[in-house]
Chains A and B, each alone.
Chain A
């Protein structure tokens, strides 16, 4: 708590309103919220099916895939950023093909930011959803099957509602992690105001020029995180 208190004590309260409405701050905030939300969406779309595969099916190399999913959790984000560059960079394994076939370049774009954030935040969602799936009684899916529900219907109408709190918790953690992402983002997407400069990057940059600006940006980040977490907690997690 002490570092947070320090932030509040040193905050330049007098000039706060004026600093908050600076276009750079608003742009960084907007970009952060947008990319974190998009990254969470990407994680939900790919992570929930992945968690289902890990929890409900057996396939060759499942343990390896599970280990792989958790790697970004322990990997220094900068290394993640370098790895992303090697794969999706203009000369990367996939990036070169994307560029020549579709004219798509990912590094140093907003899409790149989303990709970097999703890469780092994915384990939070997968682990949370997989845990919820494992603790949910798989026999409900069997009951659904005897009533004529195929796998997808059973998942959508029975399993998903049962694990909704776990998915919500995972999504919140995922979103919070994406919002604070720094290392992989700056490595893979760079630091272009309005395009790839998210709040954490803006904080870091401001720290070198103007301590008060850094404090203000940090406060905004803190306030947004706390507000969203508190709001979702009441709505989703409080009822479990």
Chain B
């Protein structure tokens, strides 16, 4: 079961044009900011939104003109959409019943699936009597009950509180690993994406801007959105050797020599702040003005204005010593070895 799709959906003021593929058993996370077109892509795969162009192929079988009920694509919706008038058991049995399985067999299969997701004793409950985490599991069981060739999950954990989210994520991970077909998971949470998916596809403004496994995406972001997501400073510039011109009058020295258009990325913790210009300092030193100070884990995240906008992490002790407050002028420095560059 291999998914190969190019999804083109045109709306006034927005165009989705994304190529997606997934191997059998692979979990692909579609990650992006709100309004990037993630849910539209998922709906297009399921056949709930018509394609304006492109194709959807499962194992070489073209599906774009097939009605959703004949696609064999399981969907876990963001707010689950469990049928409120049916018990958990009948919700799960709904799919097999529609596919012609007898009532008894469908209920037996539903009971087995509910048992697998750990909800055997809640089978007779109505959706409104289930907690968020339980409803999520029923929705997953319902989608799996039809033995779909492709599994789609739309923000499966977004509606859950932090504690339930942790449990459900672990639980979901176990189930996704046993699903033989490909899985596409839509999320705006990088942690969900990295925990659940084998591969990330970053969608921004209807287009795929970056794709790769978690390690490659987090170490080499290619857009401001991804950089913010993984907490890196990111600049684009023109490299000549190790010197990268990132603004008209500002260049950074990086660790590895490159030529042409490159990205430069470095973590906020790699930026050191000084009250006066450091002497015998690393080559990357520039004057900056503190724009904001905010708590960030154990450190303080300092946003700096200057030749380029930079985020720096400093310890609270250092912040007190430097008297960091918005408007304060400081010197920032960055070790060249901490700044990685890669072709744009």
Interface residues, chain A, CB within 8 Å of chain B?
137, 139-140, 142-150, 153, 157-158, 161-162
Given contacts A145-B68, A148-B146, 15 further A-B contacts (CB under 8 A): A139-B77, A140-B83, A142-B81, A143-B83, A145-B48, A146-B48, A146-B69, A146-B73, A146-B75, A147-B74, A147-B145, A148-B69, A150-B69, A153-B98, A161-B85
Decide if B81 touches A143 in the complex (CB within 8 Å).
Answer: yes
Inter-chain CA distance A150–B66, complex, in Å, is 12
Tell me how far the C-beta of A152 lies from the nearest C-beta in chain B, rounded to whole angstroms: 11
For this complex, 28 residue pairs linking A to B, each with C-beta atoms less than 8 Å apart, are: A137-B81, A140-B81, A140-B83, A142-B48, A142-B81, A143-B75, A143-B83, A144-B83, A145-B67, A145-B68, A145-B69, A146-B48, A146-B71, A146-B73, A146-B143, A147-B69, A147-B95, A147-B98, A147-B143, A148-B69, A148-B98, A149-B69, A149-B94, A149-B98, A150-B98, A153-B98, A161-B85, A162-B83
The residue of chain B having its C-beta at the shortest distance from the C-beta of A142 within the complex is B48
A148→B85 contact, CB < 8 A: no
Inter-chain contacts of B83 with A (CB < 8 A): 140, 143-144, 158, 161-162
Cross-interface CB contact of A142 among B68, B71, B98, cutoff 8 Å: B68
Is B142 an interface residue, CB under 8 A from the partner?
yes
- How many angstroms from the CA of A145 to the CA of B46 in the assembled complex? 9
Chain A-chain B contacts (Cβ-Cβ < 8 Å), number: 61
Asked if B212 is at the interface of the complex by the 8 Å CB criterion, the answer is no
Q: Which range holds the interface residue count of chain B?
A: 20 to 34
Contact residues in A for B85 (Cβ distance below 8 Å): 161-162
Closest to A143 in B: B81
Most chain A CB within 10 A, of B67, B70, B83, is at: B83
Contact B48–A144 (Cβ < 8 Å) = no
Q: Which residues of A contact B48 (CB under 8 A)?
A: 142, 145-146
Closest to A160 in B: B85
- B125 interfacial by beta-carbon distance below 8 Å: no
Contacts A144-B94, A148-B146; A139 near B67 (Cβ below 8 A): no
Q: Which residues of A lie under 8 Å from residue B146 when comparing CB positions? A: 147-148
B94 touches A157 (CB 8 A): yes
Contact of A139 with B94 at beta-carbon distance under 8 Å, contacts A145-B68, A146-B48, A146-B74 already known: no
A residues less than 8 Å from B77 (CB atoms): 139, 143
Considering only CB atoms, which chain B residue lies closest to A146 in the complex? B75
Chain A proximity of B42: nearest CB distance (Å):
11
List A contacts of B74 (CB < 8 A). Answer: 146-147
CA distance A149 to B68 in the complex (A): 9
User: For residue B47, which residues in chain A have a CB less than 8 angstroms away from its CB?
Assistant: 145-146
Shortest CB-to-CB span from A23 to chain B, Å, is 46
A132 to chain B, nearest CB (A): 14
Q: Which residues of A contact B75 (CB under 8 A)?
A: 143, 146
3 smallest beta-carbon distances between A and B, as pairs: A147-B95, A148-B98, A143-B81
Q: Which residue in chain A gives the minimum CB-CB distance to B100?
A: A148
> What residues of A have a CB within 8 angstroms of the CB of B98 in the complex?
144, 147-150, 153
Query: Out of B46, B81, B84, B95, which one reaches A148, CB within 8 Å?
Result: B95
Task: List the A residue with the shortest CB-CB distance to B82.
Answer: A143
The verdict on B99 contacting chain A, using a C-beta distance below 8 Å, is yes
Within 8 A of A (CB), among B13-72: 46-48, 67-72
User: Given the complex, which residues of B lie within 8 Å of A149, measured CB to CB?
Assistant: 69, 94, 98
A-chain residues with CB within 8 Å of residue B71 when the two chains form the complex: 146
Q: Assess whether A162 is in contact with B84, with CB atoms less than 8 Å apart.
A: yes
A143 to B70, CA, bound (A): 13
Q: What chain A residues lie within 8 Å of B46 (beta carbons)?
A: 142, 146
